[in-house]
Amino acid sequence: MKKFGFFGLLLLSLSLLVATGCSKKVSSIPSGSTAAVDCNVQGSLTPEQLQAQRLAEMQREVIERIAANKIYFAFDSNELSQESRQILTDKAQMLKANPNLILLIEGHCDERGTNEYNLALGERRSRAAYEYLVLAGIASTRLQIISYGEEYPAVQGTGEAVWGKNRRDEFKASAK
Amino acid sequence: MRTCFLFLIMSLLASNLWAASVLNVDIYGPGQTRVNLFLAPPLPREQAGSLAIIPDNAPEQLQRRIQANCAFLPFFKILAPQDIVGGPSSGGYVGKNIDFNKFRLSRADVLVTAAWARAGALGEVELRAYEVYNGRLIVGKGYSLLSSQQIPEAAARFCADLMEALTGHGDFFRSNLAFVKKEGARKQIYMSTAQGLNVQKITNLDGICVSPAWSHDGQKLAFVFLDKRRHNLCVWDRRTRNLVREHLPGNTLIAPAFTNDGSVAITLDIGGNPDIYRLAPNFRIAGPIVQNWGIDIGPDFDRSGRKMVFVSNRLGNPHIFIKDLASGNVRRVSMTGKYNTGPSISPDGSQVVFAQMMSGGRHKLFLVDLASGYERQLTFGPGSDEDPTWSPDGYFIAFSSDRTGPNQIYLTTKHGDEPILIPTGPGVSTSPAWGKL
Amino acid sequence: MRVNLERRTYEVDLIGVAHKGKAGAKRATSGPAKAEQRKAAPKIPDVTPAPAQKKPEKKALPEKVVPEKTALPLTTNATKEAPPKPEAKKEAVAKPQKAEAKKAAKVEKKQTKEDILAAALGDAKKTAATEEKAPPQTGDALADALASVERDVSGQGKGTAGDGTAEDGPGEGDSTGSLADWYAGQVQKAIRENWRFPRFSNVVLATTVELRLSRGGEILSSRIINGSGRVDFDASILRAIEDTKILPPVPEDVGDTVVATFYNTENQ
């Protein structure tokens, strides 16, 4: 948090107060009043509040980082490449460091092939990542898979350049 | 030399006597599979009457609707008025008054007459179809129309009766198609008649609806709904218009199908890979139908419920298989190609149609006769043809194709007749499913 | 029609005009065959085994025609046959000889009454057999065609589901050397052209009709010997016959009675 500087911290606490509804946290303010203005005037956050907002911010960052790297597959295949394994290892570490996060793994396909078979192939792909993460030590209860087949391409169009980007798993973490 | 010559003469004579025996000829199939149909101009029922008193130009509207219906059937060729020797008028609307000669000369095979009388808000019409060759009445029906809204219904009923009289099956005009329409990022379930009339929207869900399938009695429609977190099984009741949404165990639901007793078969991944299971009426899992290390999806049952076709990649890549549910025997159906999916078995269980991926990633429909094993390509030309589904009479096949642009529903027959478009409105339409009624 | 032995025998016009091609090809094979037979023994007029021959020829016919849309499983050469006409010609030349050999073989089995006949036929078969050996050397396509004819003739003619044109090919030299067979083909072609009936029945329908012809080929009368049970099917056939009215003149050694059986399905 140091990098934000004092001003940044102030802004953050203001937004946090507004967001969480400070009529609850700052007990002296009656519930009917416009809490924001009064809160600002009243004072800064308690250490617990600061800690909470710090954690929330960090979590959002982690969620973004987990989602950032997708893994890709060869045509009609659900095999994990070396690169995919590395990416999954990183994600496993992040999940371990944030035990309150759960993860949804989405399996996707390119447009070739029929929709129904691609739903099955998407299942195979998301399950491949799921199994790797379980082996890496993540509890299966924190993981969920879903196949979208070819229904949600990342990139529209045809040709191998496009198809390669659509044969993927996506990772959507969220707080429990 | 002379004896040889004598022999020659005698055997020639003998051969002549021999050849006086009968010449046998076998003729396999007619030269044309369309018969010539002519719709005679409508007449007033009373001789002194006039068609002008029928409101809304109903006679002509009905004429056009019947013509449009017949154009859907690959066994009619509609003759134009100028094709009729001596002019198109029939002289009468009942057999004994009709001048069949001119229609015989014009090579018409079926003649349809319409006779109108003013009655109530609109009128009454008598429709008759005659076999031109011998003047036999094929079918004759009368309809009372309260408004011109009922004209399409009357036309559909008459054509259903005509088709039933000719083919034994009148279901085409009485049957319904369910299909999927893309709306932005969402996909919804729609319904229409087999000709694309009365298009209705059935769902308005926030996500993707896929794989509609009708129950054998045509009363329920099952499909899978993908929302932001899960797959759901949905079942829509046609009578009550009620939609039921179920969560099932596991993460993945693919392509439900109804068995003949009304229970649903669907692919689930509860065993760690996609297998086919049967559900009880309360949607609990009754048991596995096909369990295998690979992908098993896309079940379809014949009318008896004894045969189930499905897709499996147990041999490495997806092929069509058939399971005899009584014996448990599974055998392969698709013998060519490397990627065969989307099977549909004819109601009588004799034929299987499916989509095969050709070079370039496009799919074409293939048909297999189960008894002989004979496999042939059914559709040709540009674009990709997928998701075939049989009509209840086992004659027509509807499928989805992008042959002329965005995906639309097309109609062909088990003979591979030239596909015609079933108009279902603008936008992308896929995954047709054919109901009984 | 009279068989003119003085006329140039080898005249094969296979594409387009039916009877020229058939007659020509027929003469081509009957010429040398007849010469052989005359040397060996009394005449064997080639019209004799007309009924016996018909069946193998019928099997050969569907194979020859190439339906546009269907993938025939039995011969890889099917797609090659459609465009290249010179190939078709070569095959056609080989075919009558091959088919003749088959026919001769069959005839041999059935007609055992005269030893001389058998011996003469044996000779004819040998000549046809030696002729038959030559064609496979002319190329793979030919060998394929011959091999598939063999399969077809000996087994069941499978997989010729076309779109109603299976039996319709012009006389591409598939005659087996019989006027009666050729005329049967003519009858079939002429009536079929006028016969309209939709393909929708899952049941096989068959109707047998007896036609009486004048020597000039006019259809004098027709009557149903065996109906199909379906009024509209039978009516469509009677109509087709009526619309046809006249057939080609009947060959001298062919009788004036034709018994035609109409099926609603293609020969699969």
Contact C164 B23 (CB under 8 A): no
Question: Higher model confidence: residue A14 or residue B100?
Answer: B100
B15 neighbourhood in chain C, CB within 8 Å: 45, 47-48, 253
- The pLDDT score that the predictor gives to residue C51 is 41
Separation between Cα atoms, residue A159 and residue A155, nearest integer Å: 11
Could you report the per-residue pLDDT of A27-75, keeping only the tens digit for each?
Answer: 444 444 444 444 444 467 788 889 989 988 988 999 999 999 999 999 9
Position B317 pLDDT exceeds 70: yes
Report the DSSP pairing between strands B122-131 and B136-145.
Answer: antiparallel
- The pLDDT score that the predictor gives to residue C187 is 94
Position C3 pLDDT exceeds 90: no
Position A95 pLDDT exceeds 60: yes
Question: Higher model confidence: residue C52 or residue B210?
Answer: B210
- The pLDDT score that the predictor gives to residue B435 is 80
Contact C164 B31 (CB under 8 A): yes
Position C171 pLDDT exceeds 60: no
Separation between Cα atoms, residue B307 and residue B351, nearest integer Å: 11
Does the CB of A117 have a partner CB in chain B at under 8 Å?
A: yes
- The pLDDT score that the predictor gives to residue B11 is 59
Position C19 pLDDT exceeds 80: no
**Mean pLDDT confidence for A140-154:** 96
Helix (H) or strand (E) holding B77: strand B76-78
**Mean pLDDT confidence for B391-417:** 93
- The pLDDT score that the predictor gives to residue B283 is 94
Separation between Cα atoms, residue B395 and residue C199, nearest integer Å: 10
Does the CB of A104 have a partner CB in chain B at under 8 Å?
A: yes
Reference B372, options A135, C157, A8, C63; nearest CA is C157
Radius of gyration over alpha carbons of chain C, in Å?
19
- The pLDDT score that the predictor gives to residue B373 is 94
Question: Higher model confidence: residue C157 or residue C199?
Answer: C199
Q: Do the two chains B and C touch, given a threshold of 8 Å on CB pairs and at least 3 pairs? A: yes
A103, A108, A110, A114: best mutation site toward chain B, by most B Cβ within 10 Å?
A114
**Mean pLDDT confidence for A126-142:** 96
Position B400 pLDDT exceeds 50: yes
Separation between Cα atoms, residue B402 and residue B409, nearest integer Å: 9
**Mean pLDDT confidence for B223-252:** 95
Position C164 pLDDT exceeds 50: no
The band of B4, judged by pLDDT with boundaries at 50, 70 and 90, is: low
Interface size between B and C, measured as CB pairs under 8 A:
177
Lowest mean pLDDT among A76-80, B133-137, B257-261, C168-172: C168-172
Position C87 pLDDT exceeds 90: no
- The pLDDT score that the predictor gives to residue B406 is 94
Query: Between the ranges A51-60, B382-391, C81-90, where is the mean pLDDT highest?
Result: B382-391
Position B300 pLDDT exceeds 90: yes
State the first-to-last Cα distance of chain B, in angstroms, to the nearest integer. 82
Q: Are B114 and B126 in contact (CB under 8 A)?
A: yes
- The pLDDT score that the predictor gives to residue A23 is 42
Q: Give the chains touching C; criterion: ≥3 Cβ pairs < 8 Å.
A: B
pTM of the model: 0.70
Contact C265 B377 (CB under 8 A): no
Does the CB of B358 have a partner CB in chain A at under 8 Å?
A: no
Query: How far out from the chain centre does Cα B285 lie?
Result: 33
B337 neighbourhood in chain C, CB within 8 Å: none
**Which residue's entry shows tokens 């350049």?**
A161
B181, B231, B251: best mutation site toward chain A, by most A Cβ within 10 Å?
B251
Residue B226 Cα, gap to closest chain A Cα (Å):
8
Position B123 pLDDT exceeds 70: yes
* Spatial CB neighbours of B335, under 8 Å, sequence gap ≥ 6: B373, B375
The band of B13, judged by pLDDT with boundaries at 50, 70 and 90, is: low
Position A9 pLDDT exceeds 60: no
**Please, what is the average pLDDT of chain B?**
92
- The pLDDT score that the predictor gives to residue B436 is 59
Separation between Cα atoms, residue B11 and residue B431, nearest integer Å: 70
C236 neighbourhood in chain B, CB within 8 Å: 30, 35, 109, 133
**Mean pLDDT confidence for B29-42:** 94
- The pLDDT score that the predictor gives to residue C252 is 85
The band of B12, judged by pLDDT with boundaries at 50, 70 and 90, is: low
Q: Could you give the residue ranges of the DSSP H alpha helices within B149-225?
A: 151-167
**Mean pLDDT confidence for C29-45:** 41
**Mean pLDDT confidence for A119-143:** 96
Position B33 pLDDT exceeds 60: yes
- The pLDDT score that the predictor gives to residue B321 is 98
Handedness of CA C115, C118, C121, C125 (dihedral sign): negative
Which amino acid is it at B62? Answer: L
Position A136 pLDDT exceeds 70: yes
C267 neighbourhood in chain B, CB within 8 Å: 28-29
Position C253 pLDDT exceeds 90: no
Position B212 pLDDT exceeds 80: yes
C70 neighbourhood in chain B, CB within 8 Å: 376-377, 416
Contact B341 A145 (CB under 8 A): no
Position B58 pLDDT exceeds 80: yes
Reference C120, options B19, B18, B6, B7; nearest CA is B7
Position B62 pLDDT exceeds 80: yes
Could you report the per-residue pLDDT of C223-245, keeping only the tens digit for each?
Answer: 999 999 988 899 999 999 999 99
> What's the complex ipTM?
0.84
Separation between Cα atoms, residue C243 and residue C221, nearest integer Å: 13
CA distance to B200, B280, B314, B393, per residue, from C231 (Å): 41, 48, 50, 22
Q: Tokens at residue A40, please?
A: 């600002």
Which amino acid is it at B306? Answer: R
Residue in chain B nearest A112 by alpha carbon? B361
Position C55 pLDDT exceeds 60: no
CA distance to C69, C91, C147, C161, per residue, from C63 (Å): 14, 12, 11, 10
Position C142 pLDDT exceeds 60: no
Q: Tokens at residue C224, please?
A: 């149903």
Reference B385, options B406, B396, B399, B398; nearest CA is B399
Question: Higher model confidence: residue A107 or residue C101?
Answer: A107
Q: Are B249 and B270 in contact (CB under 8 A)?
A: yes
**Mean pLDDT confidence for C97-120:** 46
CA distance to A110, A131, B58, B340, C54, per residue, from A120 (Å): 13, 16, 52, 14, 55
Number of neighbours of residue A62 by Cβ within 10 angstroms: 17
- The pLDDT score that the predictor gives to residue C35 is 40
- The pLDDT score that the predictor gives to residue B101 is 93
Interface size between A and B, measured as CB pairs under 8 A:
78
Separation between Cα atoms, residue B161 and residue B315, nearest integer Å: 47
- The pLDDT score that the predictor gives to residue C2 is 52
Residue A53 Cα, gap to closest chain B Cα (Å):
27
B107 neighbourhood in chain C, CB within 8 Å: 243
Residue B86 Cα, gap to closest chain A Cα (Å):
55
Q: Are B370 and B389 in contact (CB under 8 A)?
A: no
**Please, what is the average pLDDT of chain C?**
59
Counting residues of chain C whose pLDDT is more than 90, the rounded percentage is 24
Number of neighbours of residue B314 by Cβ within 10 angstroms: 16
- The pLDDT score that the predictor gives to residue B153 is 87
Which amino acid is it at A41? Answer: V
Residue in chain B nearest C34 by alpha carbon? B8
**Mean pLDDT confidence for C7-18:** 46
- The pLDDT score that the predictor gives to residue B88 is 93
**Please, what is the average pLDDT of chain A?**
82
Contact B255 A123 (CB under 8 A): no
Residue C8 Cα, gap to closest chain B Cα (Å):
22
